[in-house]
Amino acid sequence: MPADFNWAIGGEAGDGIDSTGKIFAQALSRAGRHVFTSKDFASRIRGGYTSYKIRTSVSQVQSVVDRLDVLIALTQRTIDENLNELHDGSVIIYDGDRTTMQDVEIPDGMIGLDVPLKGLAEDAGGAIMRNVVALGAACAVSGFPIENLDSALEKRFGDKGRSIVENNMTAARKGRDYVEDEYDEAFGYDLECTDEDYVLLNGDEAIGMGAIAGGCRFYAGYPITPATNVMEYLTGRIERYGGHVVQAEDELSAINMALGAARSGARSMTATSGPGIDLMTETFGLVATSETPLVICNVMRSGPSTGMPTKQEQGDLNAMLYGGHGEVPRFVLAPTTIAECFHKTVEAFNLAEKYQIPVYLTADLSLAVTEQTYAPEEFDMDAVEIDRGKVVDEETVGEWQDEEGRFKPHALTDDGVSPRAFPGTEGGVHMSTGLEHDELGRRTEDTEMRVQQVDKRSRKVETARDREAFEPREFGDADADTLVVSWGSNEGAMVEAMRFLDDRGIDVRFLSVPYVFPRPDLTEAVEAAAETIVVECNATGQFADLIEHDTLTRVTRLNKYDGVRFKADELAERIAAALGTQAAGEEATP
Partner 1 sequence: MSSNVRFTDFKSDAQPTWCPGCGDFGTMNGMMKALAETGNSPDETFVVAGIGCSGKIGTYMRSYAIHGVHGRALPVGAGVKLANPDVEVMVAGGDGDGYSIGAGHFIHAVRRNVDMTYVVMDNRIYGLTKGQASPTSREDFETSTTPEGPQQPPVNPLALALAASGTFIAQSFSTDAQRHADIVKQAVEHDGFGFVNVFSPCVTFNDVDTYDYFRDHIVDLADVDHDPTDYEDARSRILDPGKEYQGVLYRDEDSVPYSRRHGVDADMTDVPDGAPEDATDLVREFY
Residues 234-293 contacting partner 1, CB under 8 A: 237, 239, 241-244, 246, 248-250, 252-254, 256-268, 282-283, 285-286, 290
Angle of helix 117-124 versus helix 162-182 axis, rounded to 10? 140
Q: Are strands 244-247 and 216-221 parallel, antiparallel or unpaired?
A: parallel
Phi first, then psi, for residue 190 (nearest 5°) are -150, 85
Scanning residues 382 to 411, which ones bind partner 1 (CB under 8 A)? Answer: 382, 384-386, 388, 404
> Looking at beta carbons only, is 413 or 432 nearer to partner 1?
432
Q: To the nearest whole angstrom, how small is the minimum distance from the Cβ of residue 280 to partner 1?
A: 11
Scanning residues 287 to 326, which ones bind partner 1 (CB under 8 A)? Answer: 290
Q: What is the DSSP code string of 294-327?
A: EEEEEEE-B-STT-BTTS-----HHHHHH-SSS-
Which of 471, 468, 467, 458 shows the shortest CA–CA distance to 521?
471
> Looking at beta carbons only, is 267 or 330 nearer to partner 1?
267
For residues 220-237, one letter each, b for 16 or more C-beta atoms within 10 angstroms of the residue's C-beta and e for the rest, the string is bbbebbbbbbbbbbbbee
> Looking at beta carbons only, is 91 or 359 nearer to partner 1?
359
**Which of these segments, 170-178, 233-241, 295-303, 523-531, binds partner 1 (CB under 8 A)?**
233-241
Residues 415, 464: Cα–Cα separation, whole Å: 9
Q: Which helix (H) or strand (E) holds 364?
A: strand 358-364
**Which of these segments, 50-58, 177-185, 318-326, 434-442, binds partner 1 (CB under 8 A)?**
434-442
Amino acid at site 16: G
> Looking at beta carbons only, is 261 or 558 nearer to partner 1?
261
Write the burial class of residue 387 (CB in 10 Å: 0-12 exposed, 13-18 middle, 19+ buried). Answer: exposed
**Which of these segments, 103-111, 135-143, 185-193, 424-432, binds partner 1 (CB under 8 A)?**
424-432
Query: Which of 83, 127, 435, 539 contacts partner 1 by CB under 8 A?
Result: 435
Q: To the nearest whole angstrom, how small is the minimum distance from the Cβ of residue 343 to partner 1?
A: 12
Residues 275, 134: Cα–Cα separation, whole Å: 39
> Looking at beta carbons only, is 83 or 435 nearer to partner 1?
435
Phi first, then psi, for residue 513 (nearest 5°) are -110, 110
> Looking at beta carbons only, is 249 or 327 nearer to partner 1?
249
Report the half-sphere exposure of 134 (CA within 13 A, side-chain side): 33
Scanning residues 174 to 213, which ones bind partner 1 (CB under 8 A)? Answer: 197-201, 205, 209, 212-213
> Looking at beta carbons only, is 73 or 152 nearer to partner 1?
152
**Which of these segments, 107-115, 431-439, 456-464, 518-526, binds partner 1 (CB under 8 A)?**
431-439
Q: To the nearest whole angstrom, how small is the minimum distance from the Cβ of residue 337 to partner 1?
A: 15
Q: To the nearest whole angstrom, how small is the minimum distance from the Cβ of residue 347 to partner 1?
A: 13
* Contacting residues for 356 by C-beta, under 8 A, at least 6 apart: 291, 292, 293, 389, 390, 417, 418, 420, 460
Q: To the nearest whole angstrom, how small is the minimum distance from the Cβ of residue 425 to partner 1?
A: 7
> Looking at beta carbons only, is 404 or 479 nearer to partner 1?
404
> Looking at beta carbons only, is 200 or 526 nearer to partner 1?
200
Cα-only R_g, the chain: 26
- Judged by DSSP in three states, 529 sits in coil
Cα–Cα distance list, 590 to 473, 558, 573 (Å): 28, 11, 10
> Looking at beta carbons only, is 242 or 580 nearer to partner 1?
242
Q: To the nearest whole angstrom, how small is the minimum distance from the Cβ of residue 272 to partner 1?
A: 14
Q: To the nearest whole angstrom, how small is the minimum distance from the Cβ of residue 159 to partner 1?
A: 14
Q: To the nearest whole angstrom, how small is the minimum distance from the Cβ of residue 43 to partner 1?
A: 25
Total binding residues toward partner 1, as defined by CB under 8 A: 73
Tell me the per-residue interface mask from 2 to 41 with partner 1, x by CB under 8 A, - otherwise. Answer: ---------------------------xx-----------
Binding of partner 1 at residue 431 (CB under 8 A)? Answer: yes
Cα–Cα distance list, 298 to 114, 281, 341, 516, 531 (Å): 44, 12, 12, 13, 32
- Indicate if the alpha-carbon torsion angle 559, 563, 567, 573 is positive or negative: negative
Q: What is the DSSP code string of 193-241?
A: --S---EEEEHHHHHHHHHHHTTEEEEEE---TTTHHHHHHHTTTGGGG
Q: To the nearest whole angstrom, how small is the minimum distance from the Cβ of residue 434 to partner 1?
A: 6
Q: To the nearest whole angstrom, how small is the minimum distance from the Cβ of residue 154 to partner 1?
A: 12
Q: Are strands 49-57 and 34-40 parallel, antiparallel or unpaired?
A: antiparallel
Residues 516, 335: Cα–Cα separation, whole Å: 10
Q: To the nearest whole angstrom, how small is the minimum distance from the Cβ of residue 350 to partner 1?
A: 11
> Looking at beta carbons only, is 403 or 587 nearer to partner 1?
403
Scanning residues 436 to 465, which ones bind partner 1 (CB under 8 A)? Answer: 442-443
Q: To the nearest whole angstrom, how small is the minimum distance from the Cβ of residue 376 to partner 1?
A: 5
